[in-house]
Chain A
């Protein structure tokens, strides 16, 4: 077995003294797609934010290694430069900052870190036009302030656009499929599938078994009350779809 891209070991995380993650372990190999499911408030977004370097999460125990290095020691921008990308469940609005301008700054920051040449305005526009078509996004959104006043679906497409431009090694999608119409769901799934490659890995957080018909995962995990309660293959998602999370609660209580 090759060495894992991401190795989460016994991760405990607290927010303002409240334990949120209570011993999560997860190993992601290059080339794999993992799905994380679980009821509302079980800690899925918290896990995503901890991986991307969000503020306010105190790691009280455990570790996270990314490509064999201590991930938690890195600033969020350093993680991005090393190929980690989080598509936010709730993308943040930044008034007055032009979307295209922001994207260009991000792409060039990451390119610089990789030792690639920065793109000038013309090359960047060309690249962006290409990707915008793939996510079927209105070009007008590029000229608007970042996420400001975007509809829910527009924000999600914009996240996928960013992902495609940044070409991450580890993409984490936090409910990117939520709130999308059927066509958009397909587009997002196509985007994720296009990213699949032997040296990349993808973690999708979702509530919808249906999304996993498009983006077929190698592993499915259920996060429950801050722990991974079950792990399995593709069929686990279907089982959950039928049975809900109730039995997990019963198991946890037992």
Chain B
């Protein structure tokens, strides 16, 4: 989100003088930032989105080309998901940021239920106001924290900004890397995203720089309004290191039912990117009404030799999740990792997994997937390990564990392997277990409540994945699982 936009939202709309003054200050852009496009999509709409964002011509053309390809494509046919058809002409592809007028003025005005959840998740006090959407002053501290953050990163030459800012200020990097990992026509949702994405994040870490902090706190503070078509691009130049955390354990409600994000990671020679996601969007109620459809394309390209990309995800939200963070192991000796916890409860459906594409020699990949299903939910792991002709001595190890709570939920595992080099070694192990009555009883007989017992057993089950999360988030992620599974064992 741009600075100017934030200011504009703070201005009370009835203060005519300040509005007029502002218009001069901010010029044309502020004015149309408040525009909301009518539902529907065509070339005019795509061009308009680009115009609203004040983008250079190359971006507009790039979007239009994406749109033309998307029009030729068919919505995917869901194998394991039940989903009603989505009417793409009923969606508005640009809506103005909401006025802060209606926002709560302090935490006292926020729904106590929401606050209770923050409490349970252990979200730091100073961040609760931001997440609850409390207006202006109350959040001043955290905003200034974010600013300090940015200055420190800048001193290392790290670029960390909104995607829109990157398009304006670093067009060369955007031109070189955008779409270089996930091409516009990669899939239906990636094409749609490429045409109409509104914003997202951009990271560039220069050669040899080790990013001095987790890129997480900042993100969390600013994550609230990223919109339904989000675009993220992370570039780690040679020998650099960055750890990035996307999302938030706090429950996020959003009127936009469809979310189709694209994330591209590029690791050049010797670079490492760790990308962690905590996703807790509204899953719908106990009866499966409402909830977000989350169709994400995430891919990392280990472009240089000895580069490494590691995906870690904790997925608890959304009514429907469809995502396969993948690694293209192009550079020799490059490493791809995927650590995932996917929790489904009530009527949630998750179809998630990864693709490891081994192209370079001596490339290695490691997959650890933990699926937890409760209620009437469905949880599927779908993984592809592909070893190309030239990928001599490639190795993959996949471990896929499912935990069932109750007997009305389902877990499925679909491992696909395509191995074209005889020296490759690909191993797959899968287990499915029910949360044991005897385990629960044992824990409870030592004084733990049923909830604490479930939580302990579940976090034990997920341990290998939680170990990959940044410290402070590991604790929150554990709490998040507890909240998501509340009532799963009667």
State the A residues within 8 Å of B (CB): 49, 52-56, 75-77, 79-81, 85-86, 88, 91-92, 94-97, 102, 105-106, 109-110, 113, 145-146, 162, 166
A53 lies within 8 A of B444 (CB): yes
B452 lies within 8 A of A105 (CB): yes
Q: Shortest beta-carbon distance, A54 to chain B, in Å?
A: 5
- Alpha-carbon separation in the docked complex, A56 to B453 (Å): 18
B459 lies within 8 A of A97 (CB): yes
* With known contacts A56-B437, A96-B462, A97-B460, A91–B442 Cβ distance under 8 A: yes
A77 lies within 8 A of B450 (CB): yes
- Alpha-carbon separation in the docked complex, A96 to B440 (Å): 14
- Chain A residues near B445 (CB-CB < 8 A): 52-54, 76-77, 79-80, 85-86, 88
- Chain A residues near B436 (CB-CB < 8 A): 92
* With known contacts A95-B461, A96-B461, A109–B437 Cβ distance under 8 A: no
Chain A residue, CB-CB nearest to B461: A96
Q: Shortest beta-carbon distance, A98 to chain B, in Å?
A: 8
- Chain B residues near A97 (CB-CB < 8 A): 456-457, 459-460
Which of A75, A81, A94, A166 counts the most chain B CB atoms within 10 A? Answer: A94
- Chain B residues near A109 (CB-CB < 8 A): 446-449, 452
A75 lies within 8 A of B461 (CB): no
- Alpha-carbon separation in the docked complex, A53 to B438 (Å): 11
Q: Shortest beta-carbon distance, A159 to chain B, in Å?
A: 10
- Chain B residues near A77 (CB-CB < 8 A): 444-445, 447-450, 453
- Chain A residues near B440 (CB-CB < 8 A): 55
Q: Is B463 an interface residue (CB 8 A)?
A: yes
Within B417-476, the residues touching A (CB, 8 Å) are 436-450, 452-453, 456-457, 459-464
Which of A77, A86, A91 counts the most chain B CB atoms within 10 A? Answer: A77
- Chain A residues near B450 (CB-CB < 8 A): 75, 77
Q: Shortest beta-carbon distance, A115 to chain B, in Å?
A: 14
* With known contacts A56-B437, A75-B450, A106-B448, A96–B459 Cβ distance under 8 A: yes
- Alpha-carbon separation in the docked complex, A192 to B86 (Å): 67
Chain B residue, CB-CB nearest to A79: B445
A105 lies within 8 A of B441 (CB): no
- Alpha-carbon separation in the docked complex, A92 to B442 (Å): 7
- Chain B residues near A81 (CB-CB < 8 A): 447
- Chain A residues near B463 (CB-CB < 8 A): 96
* With known contacts A77-B448, A109-B449, A113-B447, A92–B438 Cβ distance under 8 A: yes
- Alpha-carbon separation in the docked complex, A146 to B445 (Å): 14
Q: Shortest beta-carbon distance, A170 to chain B, in Å?
A: 12
Which of B446, B447, B453, B461 counts the most chain A CB atoms within 10 A? Answer: B447
- Chain B residues near A105 (CB-CB < 8 A): 448, 452, 456
- Chain B residues near A55 (CB-CB < 8 A): 437, 440-441
* With known contacts A94-B456, A96-B459, A76–B444 Cβ distance under 8 A: yes
- Chain B residues near A145 (CB-CB < 8 A): 460
- Alpha-carbon separation in the docked complex, A37 to B194 (Å): 74
* With known contacts A56-B437, A102-B456, A105-B456, A94–B443 Cβ distance under 8 A: yes
B446 lies within 8 A of A162 (CB): yes
Across the A-B interface, give the 9 residue pairs with the lowest CB-CB distance, nearest first. A96-B460, A109-B447, A97-B460, A106-B446, A96-B463, A80-B447, A76-B444, A92-B442, A110-B447
- Chain A residues near B459 (CB-CB < 8 A): 96-97
- Chain B residues near A49 (CB-CB < 8 A): 441
17 more contacts with CB within 8 A, not counting A85-B445, A92-B442, A97-B457, are: A55-B441, A75-B450, A76-B441, A76-B444, A77-B445, A80-B445, A80-B446, A81-B447, A94-B443, A96-B462, A96-B464, A97-B460, A105-B452, A109-B448, A109-B449, A145-B460, A162-B446
B447 lies within 8 A of A166 (CB): yes
Q: Shortest beta-carbon distance, A242 to chain B, in Å?
A: 36
B446 lies within 8 A of A88 (CB): no
- Alpha-carbon separation in the docked complex, A81 to B438 (Å): 19
Q: Shortest beta-carbon distance, A219 to chain B, in Å?
A: 24
- Chain B residues near A95 (CB-CB < 8 A): 460-461
- Alpha-carbon separation in the docked complex, A86 to B298 (Å): 50
Chain A residue, CB-CB nearest to B442: A92
What are some 10 contacts across the A-B interface (CB < 8 A)?
Answer: A77-B449, A77-B453, A80-B447, A95-B461, A96-B459, A105-B452, A106-B448, A109-B452, A110-B447, A162-B446
- Alpha-carbon separation in the docked complex, A91 to B438 (Å): 9
Which of A49, A86, A105, A110 counts the most chain B CB atoms within 10 A? Answer: A105
